Structure 1
Amino acid sequence: MTLTRRTLLASTMLLTAMGPAFAQDVAREDTVIFDLDRTIKDPENFNWFTAGTKREHGAHQAMWEPLFILNYTTGELDPWLATAITPNDDFSEWTMTLREGVEWSDGEAFNADDVVFTVNMVKGNEELSAREAAVVRTQVASVEKIDDLTVKFTLSEPNPRFPTENFGVRIFGSFLPMPEHVWSEVDNPATFAFYPPIGTGPYTYASGATNRMIWDRNDDWWGAKTGFRDLPEPQRLIWLETGGEESRAQLMATNQLDAAQNVSIGTFEAIRFQNPNVIGWFADYPYAWPDPCARQLEINTTVAPWDSAEMRQAVAAIINRNQIVNVAAEGATTASRTMFTEYGAMQPYIDAVIEAGHGVPAQPDVEAAKALIEGQGYTMGSDGFYEKDGEELSVDIHVNSASTEYTRTIDVIVEQLTRAGIKAKAVPVENGVFWGEVLPFGSYEMSYSWLACGSVNEPWTSMSRYTTASVVPVGERSPGFNNTARWDGPEAEAYTAIVDRMGDMAGDDPALPGMVAEAYGHLAEGVPFIPLVQSAKLLPMNTTYWTGWPTAENAYNHPAFWWGHTHQIIHNLEKAE
């Protein structure tokens, strides 16, 4: 990639357009600039409960603080606004202890009244439709204040994962309590803009526009006063819409950006050529951090000949994951070994599956695949394709055309299957059609997806997506995109029985790894999907002004700075010497 003079000019104009709030008051070396990958449609609306309202422009990374933060390395919930949450014997009630001394930025105390009020507000108003609000509305039957620092949740049904699912920033965000003394005065919470906003975090709102949001440090922050944390070193935080990969690359190369959104391997190397202070998650290949949604090939188990487990096993044996890594991903990811994302907290389960012999290899075994295909009555034709009863063995693979990552991966798989004797064809479809029609209604033979996404610190969330409870006929919408493969039958039933038992167990139960391996044996036999590679997020971090970014060597947590756990990143940043 060439970082052009035109791009440099555009980038300079972009920063200039931000006005004096950026150029003055706070020095560049005291400012952290984060990449924002989309326009802020309404910069004066901070009602995160409603559809379309942003949080990732700094609101839930700097101003609103979570109750807990899930540590992807340890699998534990790091306490933040809350210090503990404990269940009763059957996980139907949970009691949360809040941290003493927490204050909203206007000086009012944060306490149990805020938590109870916010939960009851979303329970009583379905127009508050944000995912986290909807989950709380479904899971919580009632909530009560025990005292100023204690809240009890009574659930609609037992759930051993309740704290992580709701309060731990498991993926992107978490349920965020709002100040009762502000929201209780509102007639309609669904139309309230909450502007100007307040939070408990160490930064307060300074200014905003459609292309940026600026936050300044609150030197009277409760955390420093109580000894919870020192004041973070950055005096100002900016989330800046960079306008795409080329522009963000130039800003990063010229030290006008400190943390960038995902870039290609070529762009990353071009940035580093101009600015050797830029780092990735890994110091060398694959550079990228694996995001929670590992990639896979979904197979519709109701469509012949792929309704045969042996034929699905054959396809799995043909896949060359290393080639996908090297060609489609240009080396910026790693081959998956199981359905799970390769996080530290998931290693006990990954290890158990591999030790039981159910892991998937990076290299193919085409001869074994051919033996399986021929065992189903197919013979190799003169044109190099298998045939049976006068029909060639073929498959259409649907792929979302929205990303070159998706289409390049399927192009590689198509070539692999073709060389092995299966006439494969990629069927690119528009994003809305793919997610609205193809996947949920089972309108495919095979497709590229990441539908096993979900498990980041425990195995049940991903594994539960393939139980028989979600099986519906082709043409009916799969609930929550679960088991769109329509996997059913004895193997699926045996798998489901084990996974259902896992769902009632605590996340730290020592029996879980063995149960995961046992269930995975049925999954490996049934092959409703084929794990491919880890999902790569190559996020450049600039150490010119700031050090302490999360890396594989300094994995205090992960680097997705648009998530609500970014408080940890900000508190770890130190001025470069």
Structure 2
Amino acid sequence: MPGRRPNLTRRGLFRGMAGGAALLGAGVPGHAAASSSRVLQVEPPPEVPRAETLVVCAADHAFAFGDAGWMNPFLPGMSQSGVQFAFEPLAMYHVLTGETVPWLAAEWAYDDDATELTVGLRPGITWSDGRPLTATDVVATLRLLRDGPASLRAAAAVQDRFLEARASDDLTVLLRFRNADPRFFHDVLAAAGDRALPIVPAHVWAEQDPETFRNIDPEQGWPVVSGPYRLVADSADGRLWDRRDDWWAATTGFQTLPAPRRILWRPRYDDSHLARLAVDAEVDTTPPLTPSRIATALSIAPSLTSPTGAEPPFGAVDWRPLVLGFNAQLAPWDDPAMRRAANHAIDRAELVRAGELGRGQAATLPFPDFPAFETIAADLAPLLERFPVDAYDPDQTTALLRGRGYVRAPGGVFARGGQALTLPLVTAPEHVGVAAVLVAQLRRAGIDATVETPPDAPGRIAQGIAVAWLWPHGGGVRDPYLTLDRYHGRHAVPTGETALSPARWRDSAFDAIVDRLLTLPPEGEDAGAAVIEAMAIWLADLPEIPLVQTFSRIPLGTRYWTGWPDTATGRDPASWRA
């Protein structure tokens, strides 16, 4: 990742934050920045030994937290630097095992036609200010998202699918949906992957504007949270969270207190600096590293391990396969034949062998390789014979391009009407290995591909400024619906507007199938048939090209901490998730 190298030491960060000086807030992207106003001032935090402090580098904001002075879980620009455990979800779905763990909710049940859902909360849940967490808080959170702008995190799904909720008593919530919706609990209410619907206190948020509410005010005890840590210091350089020994889950016997007395959250740095911090045990875990970087770090630091220990692939399968995506509104890549031409220029085996040092896994479908998808992957095998996405066939690339009027110029690049066929890509630093191999393959086939890693790549992709991208895409973790919904035509907003799903592809027949799929029980035969019908359209048009499964190759330090979640326990240790 390009950028400045931080000249910040752990000791200096503690000293600066422990002094209780006024800490200045920067603006959340898309929101007004703070000037020199005081946004958080606390008593000097008590000294906590390093051996009792978990030190984490964030996965998103690079070099500095652009959201210092904010703790609003609904803003798209919020970093995952504590907000994910401060506001707890109703349940957690473990993607590696398919297990759903009730959390704030103790139970839930749909009515016979899946148009209503009843959720029962655990007794004894309290907020950090001592007030009880009740059904009123759940209802208020859902209404906040239903009635607020669609740009808020989780708002789009709530607005599309949720109709109303009411509290029948302190521990019971009754929800009504716009249509039969047997997936709503797992799709929206349960945390899974990077998705979570945080429940917030109604007595704090009732009179607030969710787009402008900072939710930080020490005099009022904000943020009021339900999770096991409270925010004690906040700046662009880092965040300190101290354990709450009165956490409801511990006092009720539901959970034990987490071992770290303090969590220090630092921003993300460039890949090489992250690896050095992990090797030196200055941080305990980081965002994913490249295959070569984590292999080197593990080889020179005996105190480091990974989600798969010392053995490749050094990470758990992520919920977001890596794809070659296109803005389907921009010529010439709005043409399915052009996208198929690019696909047949790609040798996935070489992407894994050279781009991931043999420590990866090819992908031919837009779904993660989780247990929940084994049956549907088998059901789709006949379609992959009809649409051989995995076929590396440069001759087919040539034939498709010639069929669209392209001629290979003396320099080897195809051109039409005097214009060379270009494909400018953006990607993230952790994917540069795969990107370099992909670009070489496309260029060998006559497509003038290039790649860059701009810091604003997510914004370029979301706004359609990027022509194409090498990026992990989210979607379903329990069944295919949320993945297929990414390609629904309602997301195909004009280029220049921010899209919740960036492909900007539209097919009315596909949309109708996805709308029908939403109402069908995910385990039923009708749902399976609908998925096959939708995927036949998707594979024919190929709005995005699946390349490889993504792995969260995360270094895990054992000098100060043991018992990390790993693939053997079926738990994802990614620190930025709930």
Interval containing the TM-score (normalised by the shorter chain): 0.7 to 0.9
2:130 is aligned to 107
1:560 is aligned to 574
TM-superposed deviation, 1:459: 0.4
For residues 478 and 131 of structure 1, what CA distance do their matches in structure 2 show?
A: 13
Question: Does the aligned pair in 2 maintain the 1:345–1:458 contact within 8 Å?
Answer: yes
1:222 is aligned to 248
2:540 is aligned to 525
Question: Does the aligned pair in 1 maintain the 2:17–2:233 contact within 8 Å?
Answer: no
1:462 is aligned to 483
Q: TM-score, normalised to structure 1's length?
A: 0.79
1:162 is aligned to 184
For residues 524 and 388 of structure 2, what CA distance do their matches in structure 1 show?
A: 26
Q: TM-score, normalised to structure 2's length?
A: 0.79
1:58 is aligned to 82
For residues 141 and 307 of structure 1, what CA distance do their matches in structure 2 show?
A: 36
TM-superposed deviation, 1:386: 6.9
1:343 is aligned to 370
Q: Gaps (5+ residues) in structure 1?
A: 1-5, 566-577
Distance 1:279 1:561, change over 3 A: same
Is 2:260 the counterpart of 1:234? yes
Question: Does the aligned pair in 1 maintain the 2:135–2:169 contact within 8 Å?
Answer: yes
Is 2:512 the counterpart of 1:484? no
TM-superposed deviation, 1:245: 3.5
TM-superposed deviation, 1:69: 1.0
1:426 is aligned to 450
Question: Does the aligned pair in 1 maintain the 2:347–2:441 contact within 8 Å?
Answer: yes
For residues 233 and 455 of structure 2, what CA distance do their matches in structure 1 show?
A: 34
1:276 is aligned to 302
TM-superposed deviation, 1:84: 2.2
Is 2:174 the counterpart of 1:149? no
**Residue in structure 2 matching 1:97, options 100, 117, 120:** 120
For residues 70 and 104 of structure 1, what CA distance do their matches in structure 2 show?
A: 23
For residues 558 and 338 of structure 2, what CA distance do their matches in structure 1 show?
A: 50
Distance 1:146 1:204, change over 3 A: same
1:505 is aligned to 520
Question: Does the aligned pair in 1 maintain the 2:304–2:555 contact within 8 Å?
Answer: yes
1:549 is aligned to 564
Distance 1:426 1:342, change over 3 A: same
Is 2:200 the counterpart of 1:178? yes
Letter in 1 for 2:393: D
1:512-563 superposed Cα distances (whole Å, 9 cap, x missing partner): 345433432333333333211223432111122322222222213x222112
Q: Map 1:63-462; keep pairs closer than 5 Å.
A: 63-123=86-146, 126=149, 130-133=152-155, 135-137=157-159, 139-184=161-206, 190-191=212-213, 193-195=215-217, 196=221, 197-241=223-267, 243-283=269-309, 284-298=311-325, 312-331=339-358, 333-354=360-381, 356-358=383-385, 364-367=392-395, 369=397, 395-400=421-426, 403-404=428-429, 409-420=434-445, 422-426=446-450, 435-436=459-460, 444=467, 447-450=468-471, 453-462=474-483
Is 2:50 the counterpart of 1:28? yes
Number of aligned residue pairs: give it: 542
1:313-333 superposed Cα distances (whole Å, 9 cap, x missing partner): 443233111222333344453
- Bigger radius of gyration: 1
Question: Does the aligned pair in 1 maintain the 2:428–2:457 contact within 8 Å?
Answer: no
Q: Gaps (5+ residues) in structure 2?
A: 20-42
TM-superposed deviation, 1:240: 2.9
1:344-375 superposed Cα distances (whole Å, 9 cap, x missing partner): 32332223223654586767234555566678
Question: Does the aligned pair in 1 maintain the 2:324–2:546 contact within 8 Å?
Answer: yes
Q: CA RMSD in A?
A: 4.1
Distance 1:157 1:443, change over 3 A: same
Q: Percent identity?
A: 27
Question: Does the aligned pair in 2 maintain the 1:11–1:251 contact within 8 Å?
Answer: no
TM-superposed deviation, 1:462: 1.5
Distance 1:386 1:274, change over 3 A: closer
For residues 468 and 57 of structure 1, what CA distance do their matches in structure 2 show?
A: 33
For residues 146 and 269 of structure 2, what CA distance do their matches in structure 1 show?
A: 38
TM-superposed deviation, 1:103: 1.8
